[in-house]
Chain A
Amino acid sequence: MGAAIETEGLTKKFGGLTAVRELTLRVEEGEVFGFLGPNGAGKTTTIRMLSCLVSKTDGYASICGHRIDNKEEQLSIRRAVGILPENVGLYEDLTAYANLDFYGKMYDCPERQRRDGIERLLKALEMWERRDQLVGTFSKGMKQKIAIARALLHDPEVTFLDEPTASLDPESAKTTREFILQLKKEKRTVFLNTHNLDEAQRICDRIGIMKTSLVAVGSPEELRASLWGHKTVIHVVRVSDALIGALKSLGFEKIETVGDDKLVIDVGDPDADNPAIVGAVVRAGGEVRFVTELRPTLEDIYLRLVKQGSGSG
């Protein structure tokens, strides 16, 4: 599989303000890539640059092999890209069907593809029965579904979703998430801007954390491993100096005592290290109740990275 999105040193400045600094990224075909970051981190500007809505200041980027700075290729990029902007931007005085039909025409979809596509997407999003109602009468969640259908109607190679579940009620957010998971099953390339860490963790193959520049990138597991490491928690009846000494003699330097019945130990390879830890504790007279792994949430990782980013400027 090739790269659906590729950037190198991509930079955008608005006057003296740098919105995106030297973004280097590769998103593979069929990948769901989550883009996390606080407000003003440059996520929306990145999407706008990649969909040729705003120009780059510096660096390189391509979508499905088309360079974003090549005027001749920009129409091909727009055709290859489906976009759900932060504001759905539907025509409130048109019906759901008329909205989608208009965009189908603007994306050069033949009539049959438009008709079939609208029916398939509206049925999948449980909006088919409302196709002839004015969008202005819809709830926020319904409008979001129509906007998602609009983004996918021309069968894009890359779909950019900017905060697709933001400010939706839980039920609409769930339907939207399930729909994105369906896109993932269909091996579509999705670039998902989100604040919702749980959503990113559940949906995305890989995650990039952005704060003007890319702070970290990887799968949730890779981010945990590289930024947090592995921590084993051993619950004993009572922590003693003998137990700590036994563990240190095995070479574990980072040992944290929590209360008087819990030890948190930084380990390199849990599969290899945990049996040795349990054995050493038992030999030192400790009574093991149970052993667990301390797994940081994506939120823990995100907050650590964003704070580090703030600290460094």
Chain B
Amino acid sequence: MRLRKSWTLTMKEFAVFRRKKYIIYSLVALPLVLSLMLPLSIFFSGAFSEVSDSVLGTLFKGEFTIFIILAALLPAVIGSYSIIGEKVEKSLEPLLATPSTDGELLLGKSLAAFVPSIGATYAGAGLFIAVVDGLTYSKLGYLLFPDWSSAVILLLTAPLACVFSVEFNVIVSSRVNDIRAAQQLGSLVVLPLVGIYVLGQTGTLTIDAYHLLVVSGILLAADVALSFVSRRTFQREEILTKWK
């Protein structure tokens, strides 16, 4: 496996993405809206002044799990284009003819979906943390973020969710011909993660470092399982003869 070759493919993907407005808008708009809208909605509601400090902290920490969902959602936008786009433009055959292994091509494509998605997630999370700390510091007297649970989310859960989504989208791309259909199907990957967010918001699940580590462990196992499936799916002959 030559990483340089995968990175060459990734850089080419970035050059193509720069000209796709909807990809840029998705990468900028979604994190921006979530980072501002969620903390401000609590700030401007009655809850901010009425609830105790610990409840306020729980509320904001629960909302932070949205970045796990975001990390899984963004690859559906990028990954679907990255593979289906090539399929539609019929540019896969010359790419597959190059002296590179299936693994190098898959890694290049996966990095192209992973890097901007996780980058946008981190940027959004950074903005969220800055806004929340800015809003709550005078009331709480300490910085709510970063804490252990946000660190686990950013360093473990969100990247693993992102990898899961990238792999899922590779598999979806092998069965679909239309970019929109791929995006819609690929977005289904967030459903179990939405479940975690809802459980956290309703207080059913305590969003702490321990539970997040458990979720990360499950995601890691799912990533390993899906990586076998996506590698089997992303093979030259399979792509040329069965990806219709």
Contact = CB atoms under 8 A, between A and B. Distances in A.
Contact of A91 (B8, B16, B97): B16
B152 interface: no
Interface of B: 5, 8-9, 12, 15-16, 19-20, 89-101, 236-237, 240-241
B8 A54 contact: no
B93 A53 contact: yes
Where chain B touches its partner, the secondary structure class is: helix
Given A76-B99, A93-B19, 17 more contacts: A51-B97, A54-B237, A54-B240, A75-B100, A78-B97, A78-B100, A83-B97, A85-B94, A85-B97, A88-B90, A89-B91, A91-B91, A93-B16, A93-B20, A98-B15, A106-B100, A150-B94
Interface of A: 14, 48, 51-55, 75-76, 78-79, 81, 83, 85, 87-94, 98, 102-103, 105-108, 147, 150
B17 to A, nearest CB: 9
A93 B125 CA distance: 31
Contacts of A150: 94
A89 B93 contact: yes
A78 B99 contact: yes
A98 B5 CA distance: 16
A78 B15 contact: no
Given A53-B237, A89-B93, A91-B89, A106 B5 contact: yes
A79 B99 contact: yes
Contacts of B8: 102, 105-106
Contacts of B90: 85, 87-89
B89 to A, nearest CB: 6
Contacts of A147: 94
A82 to B, nearest CB: 9
Which residue, A79, A81, A106, A147, has most C-beta atoms of chain B within 10 A? A106
25 contacts: A51-B97, A52-B236, A53-B96, A53-B97, A53-B237, A54-B236, A54-B240, A54-B241, A55-B237, A78-B100, A79-B99, A81-B97, A89-B90, A89-B93, A89-B94, A91-B91, A93-B16, A94-B12, A94-B16, A105-B8, A106-B5, A106-B99, A107-B98, A108-B99, A150-B94
A103 B91 contact: no
Q: Which 9 A-B pairs have the closest CB atoms?
A: A89-B91, A87-B90, A78-B99, A106-B98, A93-B19, A79-B99, A85-B93, A105-B8, A83-B97
A102 B240 CA distance: 21
Contacts of A90: 89, 91
Nearest to A84: B94
Contacts of B12: 91, 94, 102
Contacts of A85: 90, 93-94, 97
Contact of A14 (B9, B91, B95, B241): B241
B64 to A, nearest CB: 36
Contact of B240 (A48, A88, A108): A48
A313 B240 CA distance: 28
Contacts of B99: 75-76, 78-79, 106-108
A162 B99 CA distance: 19
Contacts of A14: 241
A83 B16 contact: no
Could you say which of B20, B90, B92 has the most chain A C-beta atoms within 10 Å of its C-beta?
B90
Contacts of B95: 89, 106
Most buried by B among A75, A107, A108: A108
Contacts of A55: 237
A173 to B, nearest CB: 21
A3 to B, nearest CB: 21
Contacts of A48: 240
A54 B239 CA distance: 10
Contact of B9 (A78, A92, A106): A106
Contacts of A87: 90, 93
Nearest to B2: A108
A39 to B, nearest CB: 17
B4 to A, nearest CB: 9
Nearest to B98: A106
A313 B93 CA distance: 32
Contacts of A103: 94, 98
A75 B94 contact: no
A51 B20 CA distance: 32
A98 B14 CA distance: 12
A107 B95 CA distance: 10
A108 B99 CA distance: 8
Contacts of A91: 12, 16, 89, 91
A79 to B, nearest CB: 4
A106 B9 CA distance: 8
A106 B92 CA distance: 13
Nearest to A108: B99
B229 to A, nearest CB: 21
B237 A94 contact: no
A87 B240 CA distance: 13
Contacts of B16: 91, 93-94
A83 B97 CA distance: 7
